[in-house]
Structure 1
Amino acid sequence: MRFSIIIPVYNRPEELDELLQSIVEQDVNDKTEVVVVEDGSSIVSKSVVDKYMGHLDIKYCFKKNSGPGESRNYGMERASGAYFLLFDSDCILPKGYLSTVKYELDAQYTDAFGGPDAAHESFSSWQKAINYCMTSFLTTGGLRSKETPSRKFQLRSFNMGLSKEAFTLTGGFSKQRIGEDIDLNFKLLKHGCSTRLISDAFVYHKRRTSWLAFFRQTRNFGAARPILNKMYPGSGKLTYWLPSVFIMAFIGAIALTYIGYWAALVIFFLYMFLVAADSFSKSKQITVALLSVLAMYIQFFGYGWGFIRTFFRLHVQRMDFKEAFPGMFA
């Protein structure tokens, strides 16, 4: 089974360079194809791709900007492999990634799979803190990284695999710019395709490199979720409300201090200590632990605000999807 790696890129040549180098360093050499799709970038990656022409079976495609989902479709349509591996350009593959996926699919083939993410030791302290918040159970991020008999793992496009047959059957990603991977999850299940988590197929994911970008990213995730829940009735979960409940409770706890009631705020300080302690136990770095607390608040306020805003627009103001969150469909 031949793999085709699909990488959409937008103004990130340096990150693409790191990803391609990690593909070169894989511990298997099975003629894996790499398709780089430049999504209308103003800072193009052509010179980076040329650098690897003699080391990888690689092709470069440039197209008008349309977002990551359509760019992945564009790449898969032009790929020759039987199974597509999809990565964001800000990922780095550990040396054994391809061999792990090959072994797992040979042992238990599925139409699609997803893998988790981790922080590389070379990442900055704030990147490690963001990674902690996006993967820890204490910040709800870890809820996305497990699969149980009653809960299917939701594939994320920064690290996932999709068979050519499943791509053809589902039509791939939708045209929306945010939440397109969650939408594909539902389409796969609707068409009876098998999915699974391959927990050992992890990538090092840099995510966003500034606090403002991280806030905007989590706000967009939160804003997209009520729309996805309405698009696919019955898909909503109580956990999606947790960040919104957290920020409302936090604001309420601060308000209570003005009448001399401090107990509620103490609970939040204890929670902050627990997050910092858990982050430190994993990173062994006090800076990462402290930044994880800040990242947690940014994550919760970003996601929670985005969720509340879209929910209000959909269910109170009765807006349609594009009115409620124009950026999701731009």
Structure 2
Amino acid sequence: MKTPAYSLIIPVYNRPQELDELLACIQTQEFKDFEVVVIEDGSTEDASAIIEKYKEAFSLAYYVKENGGQGFARNYAFERAKGDYFIILDSDALLEPTYLTEVDKAVKAEGLDLFGGPDQDHPSFTPIQKAISYSMTSFFTTGGIRGKEKNIGGQFHPRSFNMGISRKVYEATGGFKITRMGEDIEFSIRCISLGFKSGLIPNAFIYHKRRTDFRQFYKQLHFFGRARINISRFFPKELKAVHFFPFLFFSYYVLTGIALLAIPVYGLILLAGIVAYSLLIFIAAFMSTKSIKIATLSIFAANIQLFAYGKGFAEEGLKKMFNSTAA
């Protein structure tokens, strides 16, 4: 049996409907030399009915395991995948029919062992999803770091919502070392440290659904802030000055709240800074989306993003500091 060029790795946890939409996109791919490996990571709402729907459409393997987190679910798939390259996709992604064509073209032309593409919003997304997408990719929120040609101070670090590796990378690294809390960034840094060539493939983008409400978004970004500190436990030099920006934003919010209660006049001065930042977000988002509603929602998304990330960063930073002191 011929070895497929690519194995598409999709961990799933209680998201059968999203998997259905992603597999429908995969079915339309122009490039056909691939297999799909779906890992059900301890779901209580499994996707077996969805798998049945597509098992005749393309090569599709489906495995069920106890919950262990997305990093180890991907390792489980790596061990069973047959392709020369592995492409990791989040289940909440949508693809254009040209996705694999663009990946294959760039991998061959540039000799990439580690690669990824950017993410963006789809016309069908809700206004909140579009506002979150804007915030997560905006220059004014540090979101612009994602999906850039080079990471600050080095090569492009692919993220696991849209990440590819060669089989050589897997054999050299053994896959993910941690299962959550920044596992994809730790993995990218480790791959690059071993000399593997990394590159962004701009045309191999995905439509990323992200979170559907601000409460979920807050929880996700709080986790991301904690994850950035967790990565520094493995690679201390990867904690850059820009990563402290959300922490400063969070601290500014806390200081503003204290000042409003203690010395209102100073609190109002500080509050003016938050208002000015929010106005900047509105103008930039409106210029990007041409929608007053999305631009307004982007104010909430940007403030939630920085506050939640900064709070998670501070909490995990304190935990790391006290644990180090205790040690």
Does the alignment reach a TM-score above 0.5?
yes
**Deviation at residue 234 of structure 1 after TM alignment:** 1.2
The answer as to 2:225 corresponding to 1:219 is no
- Judge conservation of contact 2:70–2:179 (CA < 8 Å) in 1: no
Q: TM-score, normalised by structure 1?
A: 0.92
Counterpart amino acid of 1:276?
A: F
Per-residue CA distance 1:121-161 (angstroms, 9 max, x = gap): 00011111111111111111112221249432221001010
| Mapped partners of 1:196, 1:76: distance in 2 | 21
How far apart, CA to CA, are the structure 1 residues paired with 2:173 and 2:326? 24
CA contact (8 A) 2:285 2:294 kept: yes
| 2-structure distance, mates of 1:114, 1:89 | 16
* Secondary structure in structure 1 of the residue aligned to 2:199: strand
What is the TM-score normalised by the length of structure 2?
A: 0.93
Give the aligned partner of residue 174 of structure 2. 171
> Does structure 2 conserve the Cα–Cα contact (< 8 Å) formed by 1:17 and 1:48?
yes
Does the 8 Å contact 1:313/1:319 carry over to 2? Answer: no
Residue 293 of structure 1 aligns with which residue? Answer: 299
Residue 39 (structure 1) aligned with residue 41 (structure 2): yes
Q: Number of residues paired by the alignment?
A: 320
Given that 1:37 and 1:63 are in contact with CA atoms closer than 8 Å, whether structure 2 keeps it comes out as yes
* Structure 1 contact 314–320 (Cα < 8 Å) conserved: no
**Corresponding residue number in structure 1 for 2:80:** 78
Residue 254 of structure 1 and its aligned partner are, at CA, apart by 4.4
Deviates more, 1:307-316 or 1:36-45: 307-316
Equivalent position of 1:203 in the other structure: 206
User: Aligned partners of 2:264, 2:16: CA distance in 1, in Å?
Assistant: 54
Residues 319 and 48 (structure 1), Cα distance of their counterparts in 2 relative to 1, 3 Å cut:
farther
Equivalent residue letter for 2:309: Y
Is 1:185 the counterpart of 2:185? The answer is no
In structure 2, do the counterparts of structure 1 residues 148 and 182 end up closer, same or farther at CA, with 3 Å as the change threshold?
A: closer
In the alignment, is residue 260 of structure 1 matched against residue 265 of structure 2? yes
In structure 2, what is the Cα distance between the partners aligned to 1:5 and 1:113?
Answer: 14
1:158 alignment partner in structure 2: 161
Shift of 1:266: 1.9
| Counterpart residue identity of residue 295, structure 1 | A
How big is the shift at 1:256? Answer: 4.1
Query: Structure 2: how far apart are the matches of 1:137 and 1:183?
Result: 23
Comparing 7-16 with 46-55, greater Cα deviation is found at 46-55
Shift of 1:320: 8.2
- Aligned equivalent of 1:87: 89
Cα RMSD over matched residues?
A: 1.8
Which structure 2 residues correspond to residues 23-172 of structure 1 after superposition, within 5 A? 23-28=26-31, 30-148=32-150, 150-172=153-175
1:27 deviates by: 2.3
Task: Describe the superposition over 1:244-287 as per-residue Cα deviations: whole angstroms up to 9, x where unpaired.
Answer: 10121133234445442333322221211111111122222221
Range with greater deviation from structure 2 (8-17 or 185-194): 185-194
Residue 303 of structure 1 corresponds to 309
CA distance in structure 2 between the partners assigned to 1:235 and 1:31 by the alignment: 37
Verify the 8 A CA contact 2:68 2:179 in the aligned structure 1.
Answer: no
Q: Distance in 1 between matches of 2:293 and 2:78?
A: 41
Q: Return the offset for 1:45.
A: 0.4
Alignment-mate amino acid for residue 260 of structure 1: V
Question: CA, structure 1 residues 183+319, in 2 after alignment: closer, same or farther (shift >3 Å)?
Answer: farther
1:31–1:57 Cα contact (<8 Å) kept: no
Q: Is residue 282–residue 296 contact of structure 2 (8 Å, CA) maintained in 1?
A: yes
Q: 1:319 and 1:290, CA in 2 relative to 1: closer, same or farther beyond 3 A?
A: farther
C-alpha separation in 1, matches of 2:325 and 2:84: 41
How far is 1:312 from its partner?
1.0
How far off is 1:203 after superposition? 0.3
User: Which one-letter code corresponds to 1:275 in the other structure?
Assistant: I
Among the aligned pairs, what percent are the same residue? 41
Which ranges of structure 2 fall in alignment gaps of 5 or more residues?
none
* 2:93–2:207 contact (8 Å) kept in structure 1: yes
